[in-house]
Amino acid sequence: MKASPSVSRREFLTRSLSGATAAGLAPLLQSNPMATAAPAKRPAASLAMWALTGTLKSDNVRRQLDAYHGAGWGVVLYPRWGLELEYLSDAWFERILFIIEQAAARKMEVWLYDEFTWPSGHAKGLVTKGHEELEAQVLHVEKDGKSSIERVPGSANLLMPEATARFLAVTHERYAAAIGKFFGSTVRAIFTDEPSLAGQHQPRKPGSAPWQVTWSAAMEKRLGGDFRQRLAGSGDVARSPLWRDYWAAYARVFHDAWVTPIARWCEAHKIAFSGHFLGEHSFGTQVAYNGSLRRQLAAQGIPGIDEISTRTDPAKCEAMTLAAIAELTARERMVEVYALGPPSMSMETMRKMVDLCAACGVDRYVLAICPFDLRGGVFKREYCGVSGPQQPWFRDGAKIYAEYVAEAAVHARSAKPLGVPWPTDEELWAAAGPAPTRSEALKAMTEKFVAAAREAIRARLEPGNAIPAMAATRRNLEAEWSFHLKGLNSLRLDQPVLNIVALPRAAELSIQSQLVRGLRVNGTAVNLDSAPADRQFDLSYRRVSVAKLLRAGENRFEVDTTEPKPLKFLPALILWGDFAVDAQGRLIAPPRTIKPGDWQAQGFPAFCGTGRYRAEVSFEAAPKCLCVNSGGYPARVIWNGKNLGFRAWLPFRFNLRGAARTGRNEVVIEVTSTLGHLFVPKESPPVGLLEATTK
């Protein structure tokens, strides 16, 4: 439809949006015909964002599914960097079918992921392969209003229904053909990850036009066919009211060309459309990437948000993102969390994230990333978040986390919208101009909204669970603590020389198979071809015994590696053994006793696992409770042989009634560290028995 000067702004928007109100897009709280109805009893399982890498051998698949099933988690099947099968090949679907069959036998919930990594919509280039007409288009606009169109090779045009149809054909339809019989039962949803043009994630090229926006034939038609000519003749292009028309059309075309077809396909195949969109955190990014984030979210059966930065403080949280999801009541709501890590993140931080999101109505949690193995670290080097079995806390803590999520979900489902007034979409479009992310007006509106939303979230959260004060009855548990590790000490080897004062009896080396092409220890070659996969730590490593190759004094590790410098989150070599490390980095005999405090400074600077403290303490009167300060990391207490339980987060308070007695008592306290304490030991927080007090 062509907009002429005789057509009012309100009339133009009304026609452009085909019935949407001029004050904004269709009301969000009314029933959505494309949203999957909420079941009477919703599942509350935590979902591992299971990064599928390597070749996915059957025994390893079964072992990891057993681990997730035992924890009460479901899985999202997430193809990621490090996958050694061709994505969407016959071999890929053969493995997917095997995984789904195994999950079904375990009665596990499974979600699919609709792309190879990110962003969604391109099928790893298959949408545009041989179909250049489906490539994304960018409209470059000069200051005088003159414009040109540039194609983005390899990037699908999500503003073209034809591109969406091909995306569905090469991804969704093939999943339906391979595992469709599991849709609606084992396979419950499909996850879309920030659908967008690949070019939208790149900075502007030097010397390029001042403004760049996405384009398609559908956009041109929606804007009357002469938008570019009218823009060129509009005078002050930066302040032209025509940009309101553009963003209104963009919101509608993106919804009609991409969001609606995906939602309808999912509905027809009895699975939920979930995931999250790009640019949730500000009004500028919402307009730039979605036209109207709230409209696109409302089309999802299980609407979702992104909170991978793990900001648990209400004063710093992603309040706009959380406010948006809080609006969508009467259905499940999902959040992707924890992906940026760091890998030393405590379970206490994870719990706080659940509390924050649940206060805004989120009842489904996708834990990113849970790698099948760590080989993806070669490709994704900027950050590392790991929530899967590689974490020492997983064995005892993963089930506790899942139970906490299930309990939080009950309360989340009754959460109401935050009550902070939203600007109408038309108000946002009118303030957007040609570059919404740089609009000062939208920045001011964002700042005001976020401040109000953060205050509303803060008011919903209960005070944190601090360890209760003990006043005059508090007693520091002074004792001589013996200390040993449940397993072997760990140390990443980034230097070619290691000095040993006391030879360890046990010494094993994990060798990163992607990084190490050859290895000699003190001149002796290590046969990497015959070394078995490291099932104790991670499958992307090979593990060999090197105790007989080590010697007192200087030891040399000659590594033929693909990397000139050590990778921060993927050590080439990890030494495991019954040793400690002194201040000069030399291997020494493990100490028999240890003082309360950070064990990193007492011989265990990069230990990844559980340390066990033991002492005998006498009391004139039996204490009633014990409080442990472990740096926020999981702890277990065994008192006089009685297991008092495993605590994953605050309060680390243990009831001693029935266990403690007058006189001599045996006290055992176990503390568990993280993968981050091994990968980035100098950046990781203190860990260990920092303090113990009784009442």
At 182 the pLDDT is 98
CA distance 273 to 266: 6
With beta carbons less than 8 A apart as the criterion, state whether 633 and 415 touch: no
Burial class (CB in 10 A: 0-12, 13-18, 19+), 337: buried
Residues contacting residue 73 through CB under 8 Å, at least 6 positions apart: 45, 46, 47, 48, 108, 367, 398, 402
Write out pLDDT tens, residues 652-675: 999 999 999 999 999 999 999 999
Burial class (CB in 10 A: 0-12, 13-18, 19+), 472: exposed
Q: What tokens appear for 292 in the block?
A: 């109207």
pLDDT-derived band at 3 (thresholds 50, 70, 90) equals very low
At 324 the pLDDT is 97
CA distance 293 to 304: 11
Write out pLDDT tens, residues 139-157: 999 999 999 999 999 999 9
Instruction: Name the amino acid, one letter, at 153.
Output: P
pLDDT-derived band at 248 (thresholds 50, 70, 90) equals very high
At 26 the pLDDT is 37
Burial class (CB in 10 A: 0-12, 13-18, 19+), 197: buried
Write out pLDDT tens, residues 312-329: 999 999 999 999 999 999
pLDDT at 355 over 80: yes
CA distance 321 to 331: 17
Write out pLDDT tens, residues 45-85: 899 999 999 999 999 999 999 999 999 999 999 999 999 99
Q: What mean pLDDT do residues 253-264 have?
A: 98
- Least confident residue range of 33-37, 358-362, 397-401, 633-637: 33-37
pLDDT at 20 over 70: no
At 80 the pLDDT is 96
Q: What mean pLDDT do residues 131-146 have?
A: 96
Residues contacting residue 2 through CB under 8 Å, at least 6 positions apart: 224, 225, 226
* Level-2 CATH architecture, domain 9-32+54-460: Alpha-Beta Barrel (3.20)
At 385 the pLDDT is 96
pLDDT-derived band at 443 (thresholds 50, 70, 90) equals very high
Q: What tokens appear for 260 in the block?
A: 């609606």
The tokens 């006793």 sit on which residue? 593
At 40 the pLDDT is 44
With beta carbons less than 8 A apart as the criterion, state whether 247 and 436 touch: yes
Can you give the residue ranges of every domain in the chain? 9-32+54-460, 465-486+589-695, 489-577
pLDDT at 17 over 50: no
3-state DSSP call for residue 386? coil
pLDDT at 110 over 80: yes
At 468 the pLDDT is 43
Between 8 and 238, name the one with better pLDDT. 238
pLDDT-derived band at 447 (thresholds 50, 70, 90) equals very high
Percent of the chain predicted with pLDDT > 70: 92
Write out pLDDT tens, residues 538-587: 999 999 999 999 999 999 999 999 999 999 999 999 999 999 999 999 99
The CATH fold assigned to 465-486+589-695 is: Jelly Rolls (2.60.120)
Percent of the chain predicted with pLDDT > 90: 89
The tokens 């190879």 sit on which residue? 116
At 675 the pLDDT is 98
pLDDT-derived band at 473 (thresholds 50, 70, 90) equals low
pLDDT-derived band at 41 (thresholds 50, 70, 90) equals low
pLDDT-derived band at 28 (thresholds 50, 70, 90) equals very low
Write out pLDDT tens, residues 259-316: 999 999 999 999 999 999 999 999 999 999 999 999 999 999 999 999 999 999 999 9
At 463 the pLDDT is 66
CB atoms under 10 Å from CB of 601, counted, come to 12
Q: What tokens appear for 335 in the block?
A: 């959040």
Instruction: Name the amino acid, one letter, at 200.
Output: Q
At 214 the pLDDT is 96
pLDDT at 91 over 70: yes
CA geometry: angle at 686 spanning 684 and 691, to 5°? 165
Q: What mean pLDDT do residues 345-364 have?
A: 97
At 523 the pLDDT is 98
At 144 the pLDDT is 94
Between 687 and 197, name the one with better pLDDT. 687
Q: What mean pLDDT do residues 6-18 have?
A: 33
At 198 the pLDDT is 74
With beta carbons less than 8 A apart as the criterion, state whether 611 and 597 touch: no
Mean pLDDT of the chain: 92
- For residue 77, the 8-state DSSP code is E
Closest listed residue to residue 397, CA positions, set 345, 355, 356: 345
- For residue 200, the 8-state DSSP code is G
Write out pLDDT tens, residues 208-226: 899 999 999 999 999 999 9
